[in-house]
Structure 1
């Protein structure tokens, strides 16, 4: 009997610079564990006149996880952080009570052709940490736990799993695991999982209970403890999830909170430009006039 509870296909969204594939939130499943938002960026080919240029914008109540497969992004934030994100690295920015950041093509790539491809993820904070001070962490690829079992290669991007722990400083029990197969191989890891679990197929295909699933599909498990599947050769998947929160979440534009007042306060602070600015940046994204509220669970 299949352990797949829900299949979510990428939905195209235009974020201004290029199209992304929206995975979460989804009307049938707003969150998977603490994961509240996932975009698959690209792959987008850009010439020497096309760049990623996302001006300063605010966040509250979440951590952002940026993980690139191809391309580079220059990250700047209101803490004074200025760092270039490269493929395989983990950028982990925690907004807490409020942070502002920009994302742009680095100067050294602005006169050449390039590709942008990766995942942009939001992880909601526990209620008691919604108003924590903002922070930033960065992990190089060689700092992430990685190991091989037969034809399968594993990399723990964030959280704890299999008695291993990523250096990324998470704030609730969660995991994000990359699995690559050079040849076909079986994965049976349910006994090590906890909470809710989702599986995103980036490339290749997996087989589960006689069914085959392919790229750009997010599979949500009925029971993470029963998570097992077969990977075809040349497949890359991302297994993620963790313990869900007892409270509902609200999401409004770039703000995540457990109550409306936090959202309203953040909206007014941004209208008033009362968030700390990003050093060196002079523009910003204004609050959308009528963004929609989505009640999260």
Structure 2
């Protein structure tokens, strides 16, 4: 496995009303490029009495990327944004110096059976932008560039690769790609990738250097320029990465920063409820011990 640096298995974590598989950070690999955190939500089915309800909670120093395969989430934030996230669309919220948001089942689905399945991702900000003004951007499914290469359907969900650029307004040199194949296909991406690179297997199998890798694993590459593997039939993978930052990032709860003092201040500000409020919401997630 000459080009595989780390194999990261999915681990269960509890958030809201259901379990998610937490993939990053991992003890042996804290970040991949600027990607600091990846959660696999679901798949979960909820009945008429069950709903996703994550009350207002804060973030600093990062951008959140929410990408759903099934279901819907109503996003509300302290900037006044109120958007229903649907499968294939991208929610990109940049926290900068501080933002608060809630994530809930939309009203239209709350009294019916529903499913939810997707990825929630944190992308750390470059040090000089950690204290930037917060912002929010929603990109509809049809705006995401997609094309076929060697029989594999590729979507450029965020960043720029293959001369294709996603409209998601990222703040550093990165990529987040979806690859889908109905048949066995060899994939060679090394000429297009850069920095650090990770591969998450959502469904199907990936073959590399005589080994078979199954869903719910992240494969972190030693060298993104050597990224070659074979996708089994009916396989979906996500490739993410980019240029790593020169400074370490500290992660505590929902806060990411290059300085521990910044995180401590955010903790105190949230405890004292000095963060901006989400319009129309009075609940909040308390600071964990």
Match of 1:51 in 2: 51
- Asked if the contact 1:2–1:208 (Cα under 8 Å) also holds between the matched residues in 2, the reply is no
Deviation at 1:210, TM superposition (A): 1.1
Match of 1:158 in 2: 158
Match of 2:79 in 1: 79
Moved over 3 A (4+): none
| Pairwise CA RMSD | 0.8
Report matched runs for 1:1-297 at 5 Å.
Answer: 2-289=2-289
Per-residue CA deviation, residues 235-283 of structure 1 (Å, 9 max, x unaligned), is 0000000000000111111000011111111111111111110000011
Per-residue CA deviation, residues 134-162 of structure 1 (Å, 9 max, x unaligned), is 00001011101101124310000000101
- Asked if the contact 2:88–2:141 (Cα under 8 Å) also holds between the matched residues in 1, the reply is yes
CA distance in 1, matches of 2:268, 2:4: 42
Deviation at 1:5, TM superposition (A): 1.2
Gaps of 5+ in 1: 290-297
CA distance in 2, matches of 1:153, 1:16: 33
Deviation at 1:83, TM superposition (A): 0.4
Q: Return the TM-score normalized by structure 1.
A: 0.96
The number of residues matched between the two structures is 289
SS at 1:39 equivalent: strand
Deviation at 1:191, TM superposition (A): 1.2
- Asked if the contact 1:151–1:184 (Cα under 8 Å) also holds between the matched residues in 2, the reply is no
- Asked if the contact 2:66–2:118 (Cα under 8 Å) also holds between the matched residues in 1, the reply is yes
Match of 1:294 in 2: none
